[in-house]
Each structure stands twice: as structure tokens, then as C-alpha cells.
Amino acid sequence: MKIALDAMSGDYAPIATIRGAIEALNENEKMEIVLVGKNEIIKEELKKYKYDETRLEIKVADEVIEMTDDPIKAIKDKKNSSMNVCLDLVKDGIAKASVSCGNTGALLATSQLKLKRIKGVLRPAIAVPFPNKKGNTLFLDLGANADTKPEYLAQFAVMGSKYMEILSNTKNPKVALLNIGEEETKGNELTREAFELLKKEKNINFVGNIESTKIMDGDVDVVVTDGFTGNILLKTSEGVGKFIFHIIKESIMENFISKIAALILKKNFKKVKEKVDASEYGGAIFLGLNGLSIKAHGSSDYRAVKNALKVAAKFIDANFVEELRKTMEV
């Protein structure tokens, strides 16, 4: 399986992207990676590593879409950007998936432009698995659609349900609508109208509204919301997680006894960190496109890049796009 990696994307490129690529190659013998970006910079970074040269190649792209670039302008003005070239490789069937840590707006717009939506899909959605007490809950949309219609949310539910069936082997996934209360009459006009559509949707197991405090309980498999709300929830969750670890670290350093206790509990702390660390979950998929475009966090370290590549490989192995197409084109 060949995956195109935007080697110039993210805050720590190309150091993090290339190290992540090498580690992903070492962990998956079926994987092949195309590093897309500036030739001399990539070659210089690769000198640090030993790797199977038959499974890694460079595709030259001399331009980079920066995080500060206007998405639409960047797509038009930087046609030879690493992001554009990655998605061209997918569009042309040379690569099975694209992974980028770059500008989210530009990546979404370019992905839609080049890969197109699956027939019947009204809008793509950014889908991310959230850790919970029992495993993972898929959350969407996390930023692709700030302005959303009820019918979009109904489709997100269908696509999210299919995701959990295929990728997590979850039978008849439970789908909930994020709201300010569990009662059917709660919420704004958007959520109330979406609730009615979700009740009538035959392709999902809709269990009603869910409040944000209940998402981590693990009682539902898919949570649907608009991209504006979802993106705020995602970033708030990341911020709260960092704050909690900051407080724990401060408490540990207060005295000698707490430091000793921390050493004893070191393995336990590591398990907790792995459970909530965003880098362990790799990337988010733009759900609903005729190809695999995976978005990793802009601040991804090499572990996050490696895991994003592993996520891409999982989607490829599951023949995900074709399976989703069968559901959405009916």
C-alpha cells in the first residue's frame, strides 16, 4: 500500500514527518511511503536513518502551504505545493491515501476539489475517535462545516455509523446527537430538526440526544454535531487534558514524598497519558470523499505522524472508501 505524506507540513516538519515515516515503515512491512516536498531538505534529513529504500521514494514539490495562508488563495497560487501534489497522487491512483499536518482549511478545500464527494454525500465531515471509559467514540463533525443543515447531520450519522462498523467492528453502532439536554425538545432549531430526521433514518441505531458530560462514558459509539461546535469541543478537550497534566506535574514536584510516589506510579501515569494523548490517535479522516485524505494535528510530533500513517493504512486495508460508497450511493 502506497501512502503520500506531506513531508513539509506541520510545526516540526521535516524532522517529525520524516522520522514518523521511517518508524511507520519499520512497523508495517506492507507500507510504502512517498515523501512529498523539497528534494534537498528531505534527502538531508533522510541521512539520519537506515530504511528500506525500495519502500520509500521522494516526489518533488517546491512550494509549501503555510498555516497562515488563506486556504483558497494558497490552492490557486501554490499549485506545486506539497499538499496539492500529495492529493494529486491519490486522485491519479498512484497513492492510496494522503496524510498531511498542514492548514486544515486548505487541506479540506483541496481534498474536495481533487477527490470529489462520494455521490449522494452533501458535505464531508472531519471524524475523530475520542477515548472513553470503554474504548472509543467517533465524533463528527470537528470542523469541516461551521454552518450546518439538519440533513447534513443526518448524513454524518450514517457515515459515522459505517465508520464504526468497518473500522471498529462495532455491530449496530449507537448514534447520538450532541445537545444541551437529553430531552427531545431540547436545543436550537438545528438540533431539533436534526433529531426528527435522525429518528426516521433507517440506516442507523439512533439513541437520542447526549450531553457533552456523558460522551466519555462510552455508552454511545457515534456522536454527531455541527463543525463549529465540534471544533470548539475538540480544542477544549485538548486544553483541559494539558491543564490536568500540568497540575499533576506541579503537585508531584512539591516535595520529596510526592516525587517518590510518582516514581511508584510511573507506569500508571504512562497508561493515562497514552489514553488521552492526541498523538496516539494519529489523524482525522475527511469522511465522504472519493479517496482517503487524513489530517494530522499541526503540532504533530513523529509519533503522531507515525500513527496518522497507521490510520491511513487501516482505512486502506478495510477498503473503506468503496464500502462507504456502497452505503451512500444507494
Domain check: are 200 and 93 in the same one? no
CA–chain centroid gap for 316, Å, is 15
Instruction: Give me the count of residues in the chain.
Output: 330
pLDDT band (50, 70, 90) for residue 244: confident
- The pTM for the full model equals 0.85
Residue 59 sits in the same domain as residue 103: yes
What mean pLDDT is reported for the chain? 89
Residues 12 and 91 in one domain: yes
Same domain, 130 and 271: yes
pLDDT at 241 over 70: yes
132 in the same domain as 275: yes
Indicate the range of 45-54, 66-75, 87-96, 183-192 predicted with least confidence.
66-75
Q: What is the pLDDT of residue 156?
A: 96
Model confidence pLDDT, tens digit, residues 195-205: 999 999 988 99
Which of 259, 279, 299 is the last residue before a domain boundary? 279
Together in a domain, 111 and 134: no
pLDDT tens-digit map of 246-255: 888 877 777 7
Rounded to whole angstroms, how far apart are CA atoms 314 and 299? Answer: 22
- Examine the domain organization and report whether 154 and 243 are in the same domain: yes
Higher pLDDT, 233 or 41: 41
Looking at the 3D structure of the chain, how many domains does it have? 2
In this prediction, residue 118 carries a pLDDT of: 94
- From CA 225, how far away is CA 203, in angstroms rounded? 18
Which CATH number do you get for residue 268?
3.40.718.10
pLDDT at 142 over 70: yes
pLDDT at res. 231: 87
Domain of residue 235, residue span: 126-279
Distance separating alpha carbons of residues 98 and 85, to the nearest angstrom: 10
Distance CA 249, CA 262 (A): 9
* Residues 169 and 261 grouped into a single domain: yes
**DSSP calls for 138-165:** EEE-SSS-SS--HHHHHHHHHHHHHHHH
Average confidence (pLDDT) over 149-159 = 95
Helix (H, G, I), strand (E, B) or coil at 40: helix
Q: Are residues 72 and 212 in the same domain?
A: no
Closest CA relative to residue 285, chosen from 78, 136, 125: 125
- How many angstroms separate the CA atoms of 180 and 225, rounded? 12
- Cβ contact 159:287 at 8 Å: yes
The model's confidence at residue 280, banded by pLDDT at 50, 70 and 90, is low
Maximum separation of any 2 CA atoms in the chain, in Å: 64
Cell of 303: 509519533
pLDDT at 34: 97
DSSP 80: T
Q: Give the pLDDT confidence score for residue 162 in this predicted structure.
A: 93
On whether both 136 and 268 belong to a single domain, the answer is: yes
Cβ proximity of 12 and 28 under 8 Å: no
Considering the domain architecture, whether residues 173 and 58 belong to the same structural domain is answered as no
Whether residue 290 is predicted with pLDDT greater than 60 in this model: the reply is yes
The answer on pLDDT for 19 being more than 80 is: yes
Mean pLDDT of 151-171: 92
Give me the mean pLDDT over the 179-184 stretch: 91
At 102-118, the pLDDT tens digits run 998 899 999 999 999 99
Q: Are residues 253 and 292 in the same domain?
A: no
Report pLDDT for 238.
77
Report, in angstroms and rounded to the nearest whole number, the Rg of the chain calculated over CA atoms: 20
